[in-house]
């Protein structure tokens, strides 16, 4: 309801032929099926956090938003500015493509895919949100969303390696190590703003005696092009990552605690690429759970988090990732007072920061915070003091919600929790006991 129109200045003229060509190229059997099957029953309404957070505004019903795609096909791409404006508002400002509605639809209609197609249509006609368009430019220029150069990346890695060596004797962050088991990839925000994230991951890998490496390109596993529906760039991004993985001959591509990065590399990459990558893609949640299950990482029971703590299921880790149970295994292994939200797991509510809502920046802020009310209420109801979340977008959004709705929680990732509670083997502990 409250969405601003896209940047006024940058609206290119409408090319209805190009829109129709685009729509035709995307008309798959499933898309057609979903557009035809909807019985307009309304059961998806209260599955949506936008609907619930906006006083049950009927215009927020997933089926209502997704209907625009059917109209676009009916109009054979002959769309005017007003129609495209509505598409922009519904597709970018009123849906995070979290797919919760699909789980309540009697037909299992993938409304998020319909919204994603609308986003593609807008992006292909030059109407992508500024924040996403800027990121796409960066990917194409530098291979990562933050335009970090290879030199800067390597410097950051080396710096973090040095820092880590003060903590763990003989710790390394191997760069371009051929034949390693795991190639670890990160969210470009980490080297840019949170280099400690890389250090924490490295600490866990070193203690687990993992055979791992980081590449010099293809290391940004994020894929904001996916949110804009720019499949060409989305494919280019994952191509870089798997090219690096092929070159290094690794077995796994590991993804940092980021939801959409996992979605893009694990589930969508093969669709964009048209072939299945050689490497298995593994999310940090899976990897850490594997370490603890197998005993490669041992947790000191006395150092488990004892304060009340809850877990945010990122949509792309749980519902669209299938890692609901691994996350709960980790929570129980690392915390003594774990309180699940209601609902949770595959049925969780989106935090409001997904689907590109965070990187869309200022234009989205108001809608984002409003739609996050559902999540804020859920968190409050648990009485938790801490919240664990393995996703950068959720992380930022929940930190914003924390301020906006006065939740009084501390938001952390699994890395921090594991790093605090894991038992570091004697030989890895520095001898000189200078206090930090």
Partner 1 sequence: MTFLEFVEGPLLWIAFLTFIIGTILRFVLFFAVSVKKDKIVYQYFNIKWIALTILRWLLPINRDILKNPVYTICGYILHFCLILVPIFYSAHVLLWEEGVFEWTWWIMPDVWADWMTLVVIAIIIFFILRRMISADVRILTTATDYIALVVTALPFVTGYFATHGTLGDAISVDTLHLVHVLSGELMLILLPFTKLNHYILFFLSRGVAGIEFGRRGYSI
Query: Judged by CB under 8 A, which of 4, 322, 329, 385 binds partner 1?
Result: 322
Tell me the window of 96-104, 114-122, 123-131, 136-144 that interacts with partner 1 (CB under 8 A): 96-104
- Rounded Cα distance, 144 and 71, in Å: 36
Question: Judged by CB under 8 A, which stretch of 38-46, 200-208, 242-250, 420-428 contacts partner 1?
Answer: 38-46
Tally of CA atoms within 13 A in the half-sphere of 4 that contains its CB: 13
Nearest to partner 1 of 209, 278 (CB atom): 278
Residue 253 DSSP code = E
* Residue 29 engages partner 1 in binding (rule: CB under 8 A): yes
Residue 41 or 423 with smaller CB distance to partner 1:
41
Give CA–CA dist 167/436, Å, rounded.
9
Nearer to partner 1, 56 or 209 (CB): 56
Three-state SS for 369? helix
C-alpha separations of 35 from 41, 78, 107, 260 in Å:
14, 18, 11, 25
CB of 331 to partner 1, least distance (A): 18
Return d(Cα 324, Cα 307) in angstroms, integer: 22
Single out the residue of 219, 269, 6 nearest to residue 133, CA to CA: 6
Residue 59 binds partner 1, judged by CB under 8 A: yes
Q: Confirm or reject binding of residue 33 to partner 1 (CB under 8 A).
A: yes
By the rule CB under 8 A, 109 interacts with partner 1: yes
Question: Taking CB under 8 A as the rule, does residue 1 contact partner 1?
Answer: no
Task: Give the helix/strand (H/E) hosting 70.
Answer: helix 62-74
Pick one of 267, 308, 404, 428: the residue that binds partner 1 (CB under 8 A). Answer: 267
What is the strand order of the sheet 252-255 is part of?
A: 212-213, 182-185, 252-255, 280-283
104 binds partner 1 (CB under 8 A): yes
Question: 422-426 long-range CB contacts below 8 Å, 24 or more apart?
Answer: 422/204, 422/207, 422/297, 422/298, 422/299, 422/300, 423/298, 423/299, 423/300, 424/168, 424/207, 425/207
Strand partners, 282: 254
**Closest distance to partner 1 from the beta carbon of 240 (Å):** 22
Residue 58 in contact with partner 1, rule: CB under 8 A: yes
Residue 37 binds to partner 1 (criterion: CB under 8 A): yes
Q: Is 45 in the site for partner 1 (CB under 8 A)?
A: yes
Per-residue contact flags (x/-) with partner 1 for residues 224 to 263, judged by CB under 8 A:
----------------------------------------
Closest separation in Å from C-beta 380 to partner 1: 22
Interface positions, 346-405, toward partner 1 (CB under 8 A): 346-347
What would you report as the CA-atom Rg of the chain, rounded to the nearest whole angstrom?
22
Size of the site for partner 1 (CB under 8 A): 42
Binding site for partner 1 (CB under 8 A): 27-30, 32-34, 36-37, 39-43, 45-47, 56, 58-59, 61, 63-64, 67, 102-104, 106-110, 267, 270-271, 276, 320-322, 324, 346-347
């Amino acid at each position: 309801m409250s969405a601003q129109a896209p940047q006024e200045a940058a609206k290119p003229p409408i090319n209805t032929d190009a829109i129709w060509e685009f729509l035709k190229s995307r008309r798959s059997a499933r898309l057609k099926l979903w557009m035809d099957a909807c019985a307009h029953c309304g059961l998806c309404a209260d599955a949506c956090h936008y609907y619930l957070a906006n006083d049950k505004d009927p215009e927020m019903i997933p089926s209502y938003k997704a209907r625009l795609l059917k109209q676009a096909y009916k109009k054979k791409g002959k769309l005017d500015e007003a129609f495209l404006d509505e598409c922009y508002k519904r597709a970018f400002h009123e849906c995070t493509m979290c797919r919760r509605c699909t789980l309540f639809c009697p037909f299992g209609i993938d409304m998020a895919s319909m919204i994603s197609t609308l986003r593609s249509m807008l992006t292909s006609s030059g109407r992508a949100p500024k924040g996403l368009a800027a990121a796409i430019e960066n990917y194409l220029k530098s291979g990562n969303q933050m335009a970090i150069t290879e030199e800067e990346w390597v410097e950051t890695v080396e710096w973090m390696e040095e820092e880590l060596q003060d903590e763990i004797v003989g710790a390394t962050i191997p760069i371009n190590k051929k034949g390693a088991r795991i190639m670890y990839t990160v969210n470009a925000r980490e080297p840019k703003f949170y280099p400690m994230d890389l250090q924490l991951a490295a600490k866990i890998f070193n203690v687990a005696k993992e055979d791992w490496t980081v590449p010099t390109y293809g290391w940004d596993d994020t894929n904001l092009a996916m949110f804009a529906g720019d499949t060409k760039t989305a494919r280019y991004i994952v191509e870089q990552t798997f090219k690096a993985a092929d070159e290094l001959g690794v077995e796994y591509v590991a993804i940092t605690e980021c939801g959409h990065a996992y979605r893009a590399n694990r589930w969508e990459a093969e669709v964009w690429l048209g072939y299945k990558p050689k490497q298995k893609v593994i999310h940090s949640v899976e990897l850490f759970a594997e370490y603890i299950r197998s005993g490669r990482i041992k947790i000191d029971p006395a150092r488990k988090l004892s304060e009340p703590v809850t877990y945010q299921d990122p949509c792309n880790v749980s519902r669209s990732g299938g890692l609901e149970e691994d996350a709960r295994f980790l929570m129980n292994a690392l915390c003594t007072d774990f309180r699940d939200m209601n609902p949770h797991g595959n049925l969780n509510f989106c935090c409001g920061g997904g689907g590109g809502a965070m990187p869309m920046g200022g234009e989205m802020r108001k809608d984002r915070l409003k739609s996050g009310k559902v999540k804020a209420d859920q968190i409050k109801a648990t009485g938790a003091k801490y919240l664990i979340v393995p996703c950068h977008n959720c992380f930022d959004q929940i930190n914003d919600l924390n301020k906006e709705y006065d939740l009084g929680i501390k938001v952390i990732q699994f890395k921090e929790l594991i790093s605090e509670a894991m038992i570091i083997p004697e030989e890895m502990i520095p001898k000189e006991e200078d206090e930090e």
